[in-house]
């Protein structure tokens, strides 16, 4: 089966987040049948520091499936997950993680705490980085440039 990227959907969620005044990060959860859930950052709107795109998408997908794990599902996110989201991805038993731009400031996958390489991390997804990274970076740059 040919690989189909859902990063374009994640990028749309990131753009929508920027239009709401949120940091532009978007996430999509895909199962064998296709998209299960998609979300953008909502920390400001919800007054919730844990309302990152990945966490919201995981919650929505688990609700939709009526289960606490997402084994066999893939997560696409426009930015390298932070340590909190990486832990949530592991707890959700996500099969494959595809992310766009790397995040030297807050990332927790390829840098910083490197959550998936800890011995306490019980489930490690396959990780593919740099997917449409330029688009993700551009969105973030524009967003923060407008706020300076």
Q: At what angle do helices 7-19 and 53-65 cross, to 10 degrees?
A: 120
| 98 lies in the binding site for Zn ion (CB under 5 A) | no
d(CA 115, CA 119): 9
Out of 14, 57, 82, 87, the residue judged to bind Zn ion by CB under 5 A: 82
Q: Is 82 annotated as a binding residue?
A: yes
| 56 lies in the binding site for Zn ion (CB under 5 A) | no
Spatial CA neighbour of 29 closest among 112, 96, 126, 109: 96
| 14 lies in the binding site for Zn ion (CB under 5 A) | no
d(CA 7, CA 65): 22
- 54 is an active site residue: yes
Q: How far is the CB of 105 from Zn ion (least distance, A)?
A: 12
| 7 lies in the binding site for Zn ion (CB under 5 A) | no
Catalytic residue numbers, as ranges: 54
Residues that bind Zn ion (CB under 5 A): 52, 82, 85
């Amino acid at each position: 089966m040919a690989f189909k990227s859902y990063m374009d959907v994640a990028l749309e969620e990131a753009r929508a987040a920027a239009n709401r005044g949120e940091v532009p990060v978007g996430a999509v959860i895909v199962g064998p049948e296709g998209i299960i859930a998609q979300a953008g950052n909502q920390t400001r709107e919800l007054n919730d520091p844990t309302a990152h795109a990945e966490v919201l998408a995981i919650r929505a997908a688990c609700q939709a499936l009526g289960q606490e794990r997402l084994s066999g599902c893939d997560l696409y996110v426009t930015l390298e997950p932070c340590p909190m989201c990486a832990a949530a991805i592991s707890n959700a038993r996500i099969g494959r993680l595809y992310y766009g731009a790397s995040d030297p400031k807050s990332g927790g996958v390829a840098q910083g705490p490197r959550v998936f390489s800890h011995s306490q991390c019980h489930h490690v997804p396959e990780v593919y980085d740099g997917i449409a990274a330029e688009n993700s970076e551009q969105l973030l740059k524009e967003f923060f440039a407008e706020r300076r």
